[in-house]
């Protein structure tokens, strides 16, 4: 990888403020939600749910933004591109991502939908059920891109959720083109099994032709290839992109590259509190190690460690020093 790059990873994604509320299964069913998944809601539904659930923990989220925050916490050079509105939640988002050392320069929109928010219902078994109002975030279009920042990245990281908006999809493709022209690699997270269902053909084409590094969990990868088992999905994805990092919750993860298949053990660092951000922090740990030239096994281990930490707390941004954690467990 080029030594001249000034950023390790630049990510593009939905800029979202998460509101975490603890809720039992009966509450989740009462709202007609499918436990453990993400549903898109409009502004009216968002306000209705807010009103019924009461106050929660407000924290900046968004899948790619969580990944970039993790990379910055590990000491990596990270940049994020995403759209907020010039409102209170937009200010919270910008403050939080910059506070951990991530470059965030996308101008806030001065008109249109409010900043995106995601209502996350955390059940007693730590599963998260998400209701997302995408608001201003899906207004992201190619004019919002800081292509100079994209050109400076070793890896461009994209979240699958962007595919729900045609403008954001166009921005995603424009950025990928610039990244490739400047010798960068492109990484994609499939984001959510329902997201895969909505965009399967597009994702298959992306994985086969444009993506160097793919992140997916067991449900997402089996959905992508309509596989009957995880093993069948592994065979299907092998060789489609250079590296596939596939997570399996408490069973750890598998990193595929060429004929290699590296099994990564999970880290159990405490009681399971909330799985929000586990996949995001896995990608963060992996990409940080990868852009520092580490082996794929080491990439998987740091990924697993970061994911193992974030599930022991409420919210998707690590409350402990990830750099120190890595020194303790992986030195």
CA quadruple 130, 256, 312, 305: dihedral positive or negative? negative
Tell me how far apart the alpha carbons of residues 279 and 288 are, in angstroms, rounded to a whole number. 14
Read off the pLDDT band of 3 (50, 70, 90): low
**CA-angle at 290, arms to 289 and 294, nearest 5°:** 70
Cβ-contact 58, 17 below 8 angstroms: yes
Q: Using a pLDDT cut of 90, give the percent of the chain over it.
A: 79
Q: What number is the average pLDDT over the span 68-87?
A: 97
Counting Cα atoms < 13 Å in the Cβ hemisphere of 165 gives: 21
Could you give the C-alpha distances from 11 to 113, 159, 286, 320, 323, in angstroms and in order?
22, 8, 14, 22, 20
Q: Taking the C-alpha atoms of 135, 219, 157 and 317 in order, what is their torsion angle to the nearest 10 degrees?
A: 70
Tell me how far apart the alpha carbons of residues 55 and 227 are, in angstroms, rounded to a whole number. 40
Higher pLDDT, 249 or 1: 249
Q: What number is the average pLDDT over the span 13-35?
A: 92
Whole-number pLDDT of residue 267: 96
Which span out of 38-47, 48-57, 158-167, 256-265 was modeled with the highest average pLDDT?
256-265
Domain spans of the chain, in order of start:
7-15+62-112+139-330
Q: Using a pLDDT cut of 70, give the percent of the chain over it.
A: 99
Q: What number is the average pLDDT over the span 39-56?
A: 87
Lowest mean pLDDT among 5-19, 46-60, 205-219: 46-60
Whole-number pLDDT of residue 153: 98
Burial of 269 (0-12, 13-18, 19+ CB in 10 A): middle
Q: Taking the C-alpha atoms of 264, 276, 216 and 71 in order, what is their torsion angle to the nearest 10 degrees?
A: -70
Read off the pLDDT band of 263 (50, 70, 90): very high
Tell me how far apart the alpha carbons of residues 311 and 14 are, in angstroms, rounded to a whole number. 21
Whole-number pLDDT of residue 192: 87
Whole-number pLDDT of residue 58: 86
Q: Say yes or no to pLDDT of 61 above 60.
A: yes
156, two tokens: 């461009």
Cβ-contact 16, 133 below 8 angstroms: no
Q: What number is the average pLDDT over the span 57-67?
A: 92
Q: Say yes or no to pLDDT of 2 above 60.
A: no
Tell me how far apart the alpha carbons of residues 232 and 237 are, in angstroms, rounded to a whole number. 9
What does pTM read for this prediction?
A: 0.92
Whole-number pLDDT of residue 187: 98
Tell me how far apart the alpha carbons of residues 188 and 203 are, in angstroms, rounded to a whole number. 9
pLDDT digits (tens, 9 = 90+) for 147-172: 999 999 999 999 998 888 889 889 99
Average pLDDT, the chain: 93
Q: Say yes or no to pLDDT of 331 above 80.
A: no
Read off the pLDDT band of 4 (50, 70, 90): confident
Class of domain 7-15+62-112+139-330: alpha beta
């Amino acid at each position: 990888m080029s030594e001249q790059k000034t950023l390790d990873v630049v990510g593009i994604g939905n800029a979202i403020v998460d509101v975490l509320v603890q809720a039992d299964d009966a509450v989740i069913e009462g709202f007609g939600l499918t436990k453990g998944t993400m549903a898109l809601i409009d502004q009216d539904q968002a306000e209705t749910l807010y009103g019924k659930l009461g106050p929660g923990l407000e924290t900046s989220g968004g899948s790619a933004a969580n990944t970039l925050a993790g990379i910055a916490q590990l000491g990596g050079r990270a940049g994020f591109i995403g759209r907020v509105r010039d409102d209170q939640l937009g200010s919270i988002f910008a403050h939080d991502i910059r506070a951990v050392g991530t470059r965030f320069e996308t101008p806030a929109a001065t008109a249109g939908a409010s900043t995106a928010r995601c209502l996350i219902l955390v059940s007693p078994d730590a599963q998260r059920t998400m209701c997302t109002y995408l608001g201003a975030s899906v207004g992201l279009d190619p004019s919002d891109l800081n292509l100079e920042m994209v050109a400076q990245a070793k890896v461009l990281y994209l979240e699958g959720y962007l595919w729900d908006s045609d403008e954001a999809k166009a921005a995603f493709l424009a950025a990928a083109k610039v990244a490739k022209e400047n010798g960068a690699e492109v990484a994609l997270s499939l984001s959510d099994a329902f997201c895969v269902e909505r965009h399967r053909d597009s994702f298959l084409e992306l994985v086969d032709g444009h993506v160097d590094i793919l992140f997916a969990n067991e449900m997402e990868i089996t959905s992508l290839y309509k596989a009957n088992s995880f093993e069948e999905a592994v065979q299907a994805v092998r060789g489609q992109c250079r590296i596939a990092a596939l997570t399996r919750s408490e069973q750890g993860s598998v990193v595929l590259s060429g004929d290699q298949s590296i099994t990564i053990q999970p880290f159990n660092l405490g009681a399971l509190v909330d799985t929000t951000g586990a996949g995001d922090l896995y990608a963060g740990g992996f990409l940080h190690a990868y852009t520092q030239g580490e082996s794929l096994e080491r990439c998987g281990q740091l990924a697993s460690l970061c994911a193992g930490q974030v599930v022991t707390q409420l919210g998707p941004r690590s409350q402990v020093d990830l750099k120190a954690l890595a020194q303790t467990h992986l030195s």
